[in-house]
Structure 1
Amino acid sequence: MLQESSNIFIKKSETETDLFVINGMQFKSRLMIGTGKYANLKDAKQSIAVSQASIVTVAIRRAQSVKMAGKSNLIDGLDWKSLWLLPNTAGCATVDEAIRVALMGREMCKRLGQTHNNFIKLEVIPDCKNLFPDPIGTLKAAEFLIKKDFTVLPYINSDPILAKQLEEIGCSTVMPLGSPIGSGQGINNIENLRIIIDNAKIPVIIDAGIGTSSDATTVMEIGADAVLVNSAIAQASYPQVMASAMQLAVKSGRQAYLSGRMKQKRNAEASSPIIGISH
């Protein structure tokens, strides 16, 4: 249990048994938030606060370019004692690029005081049109970063075989997309996601394509461990309101999953008995 960012984590005595754990770290919220595409820093900060997220992901390349341009940087405006930084390698098209940016991300965590934060959201995306991740490049980069003691959270297509391979080499989660990144199309591949979830012994975090709160609820109801949301909040007419909706949706979906929903039936079945009713 890390002490430097203890506000993020759950004390065991304060919880039930349903914990969200990544590589031994316990987090309060199953909603993870991205930081891109907001109209301004105020909307971003307020949305993150309303979402009650514990984990916030930041594109290292974008953060570096903003800083070099001398512009206001969201990283400098957030309280990293109550949030956990998940650096990501967005914008990297090759294995070498992703590895280099991951190392930069680990140094950024140290500068923010999270000295034991080795988390990295791994993205290797050579497809600049459709933004589908490279499965072979992701596997190679993940293998290298795991050997360098990173906690690797790889972003992948909804490929059950690749998801299992990444788990077997030591990834701490898998992050399959629900539909193309930034599209807001919702969940287009739910059967593949079910297979990934059913086969996984590590957390499955649905990332990309979520457009509204019902999408988040849908994947949480089938057993996803968490969701990562960016565009659906940042590009909503009222981002803070959508952030609140997502927070409620994730909690609701998780509770529905844990409740064990009723079996679906072909025919109607009366909820009240007819025996003993006088006619």
Structure 2
Amino acid sequence: MGTTEHDTWMLAGREMTSRIILGTARYPSQETLLESLKASGTELVTVALRRVNVGSADGTDPTNLYTLLTERGYALLPNTAGCFTAADAILTARARPRGAGRVADQAGSAQELVRRGFQVLPYTNDDPVTARKLEDVGCSAVMPLGAPIGSGLGIRNPHNIQLIKERANVPVIVDAGVGTASDVAIAFELGCDGVLMNTAVARSRNPVQMARAMNAAARAGRDAFLAGRMPRKFYADASSPSEGMISPLETS
């Protein structure tokens, strides 16, 4: 079916090779953040509009986050984390000229942001009906949670994630809940287009090493999905069949 060597994907009109989107919060230091981003292989990073000062509009301050990230070639996905109503999300998104990413509210705020010209990537629960509604109002992707944000519990309902992916005509990105590399591999084995994570890397004992592991897991999970797993069976089926084997009587 293909390999990950030239396996690009499109998100809101942007073509990317890496399927990891990494957050920028809660790292022990700015140096660790930058090293982790590099180790993850990400091309797109997310910053919270209400919690991070992205610096002056012209980007001339060399210490601001916007300059640090863009000069290293990362695209930014601003998000409206901390907004709990449609009005808050719209006000926060409009206050920043660089666009809007995740919204805490559901179809109401998403629809209004789409109407105002934003490319909306809504963070939502793992309900297939909700995901379809968000796609129908014009969202550029749907981003179901794997588990509660920051919990590290992994993908608690893989069946729902798979249903969302099978029915979606836009990218499906698991957002929130992954805790380690195996969770990332599972998301891609289910066919998801991307995984957005933050705490799993930032709060690990060694963020740079964990980011490297997430990178490898993403490629492994995507390869496994493209390869096509064997069918599940509820009985034994030996890989070395007994037909054609030499019997003990034939050798006596």
Calculate the TM-score normalised by the size of structure 1: 0.80
Once the two structures are TM-superposed, the CA of residue 64 in structure 1 deviates from its matched residue by 2.9
Decide which of 219, 241, 248 is 2:209's aligned counterpart. Answer: 241
- CA separation in 2, counterparts of 1:178 and 1:223? 14
Distance 1:104 1:49, change over 3 A: farther
Provide the residue aligned with 1:45 in structure 2: 34
Q: Which of 101, 114, 121 is the matching residue for 1:121? A: 101
Aligned-partner SS, 2:39? helix
Q: How far did residue 24 of structure 1 move?
A: 2.8
Structure 1 residues 265, 159: CA separation in 2 closer, same or farther (over 3 Å shift)?
Answer: same
> CA offsets per residue over residues 183-223 of structure 1, 9 Å max, x none?
11111122211111111111000000100000011111011
Q: Which has the larger radius of gyration?
A: 2
The alpha carbon displacement at 1:66 in A equals: 8.8
Percentage identity across paired residues of the two chains: 42
CA distance in 1, matches of 2:211, 2:217: 10
Total equivalences in the alignment:
238
Q: 2:83 aligns with which of 75, 88, 92?
A: 92
Shift of 1:35: 0.6
Answer yes or no: is the 8 Å Cα contact 1:63–1:75 preserved in 2: no
User: Aligned equivalents of 1:73 and 1:23: distance in 2?
Assistant: 26
Return the alpha-carbon distance in structure 2 between the equivalents of residues 245 and 254 of structure 1.
14
For 1:163, what is the secondary structure of its paired residue? Answer: helix
Q: Which structure 1 segments of 5+ residues have no match?
A: 1-14, 110-117, 125-136
Q: Please, which runs of 5 or more residues in structure 2 have no aligned partner?
A: none
Matched to 1:43, the amino acid is T
Q: Secondary structure at the match of 1:98?
A: helix
Divergent runs of 4+, >4 A:
none
1:66 and 1:54 map into 2 onto residues whose CA distance is 21
> Is 1:79 equivalent to 2:59 in the alignment?
no
1:139 equivalent to 2:87? Answer no
Q: Secondary structure at the match of 2:106?
A: helix
Q: TM-score, normalization: structure 2?
A: 0.88
Helix, strand or coil: the match of 2:94?
helix
